[in-house]
Amino acid sequence: MKVEREELKGTISEMKRKGYDYLVKITAVDYADKLEAVYVLRNISESKDEIIEVDMPATDAWVPTIIDVHLSADWYEREMGEMFGIEIRGRRAGRLLLEKWDGVDPPLRKSFTWSAPYRNMDSPQ
């Protein structure tokens, strides 16, 4: 199901009320011209999954936090922020999952390029 990012938290809350109370995964996809946040919810009692997708421009990448609906979203939101550069609005700043690095683009964006000294890791020094 596709939703607008402004509707995301309400949709996730409604799905939880309908029995989709297990957050399986949050991830993102980079299509170069746009990003898509993907939320997978499970209704355990009915053995059903629901996928919620949120499209956003790559130049204005943000979604609201859902941590107040699903506490387990914490790790996934931090990962999405660091690896895809998607701003998670409404989150308190927390510690990084990964070490700081000097790259410009987030590592899982298509625009990411390796910079020295990593560029030629397989070549002899």
- As a whole number of angstroms, the distance between CA 41 and CA 53 comes to 11
CB 18 within 8 A of CB 43: yes
Full set of structural domains in the chain with CATH: 5-89 (3.30.460.80)
CA distance 85 to 14: 27
Give the tens place of pLDDT for each residue, 55-71.
Answer: 999 999 999 999 999 99
Is the CA virtual torsion 118, 120, 122, 124 positive or negative?
Answer: negative
Indicate whether 103 pLDDT > 70: no
Residue 85 is which amino acid?
Answer: G
Residue found by looking up tokens 């030629």 in the block: 120
Say if residue 97's pLDDT is above 50.
yes
State residue 124's pLDDT score: 47
Q: For the segment 31-59, what is each residue's pLDDT rounded down to a tens digit?
A: 988 999 999 999 999 999 999 999 999 99
pLDDT tier for residue 115 given thresholds of 50, 70 and 90:
low
- Res 92: pLDDT: 77
In this structure, what are the phi and psi dihedrals at residue 72, rounded to the nearest 5 degrees? -70, -5
Closest of 109, 114, 113, 107 to residue 31, by C-alpha: 109
pLDDT above 60 (res 116) = no
Query: What pLDDT is recorded for position 43?
Result: 97
Q: What is the DSSP letter of 16?
A: H
49 sits in which H/E element: strand 48-57
Q: What does the pLDDT read at residue 99?
A: 63
Report the predicted TM-score, pTM, of the whole model to 2 decimal places.
Answer: 0.84
Residues 91 and 79 sit within 8 Å (Cβ to Cβ): no
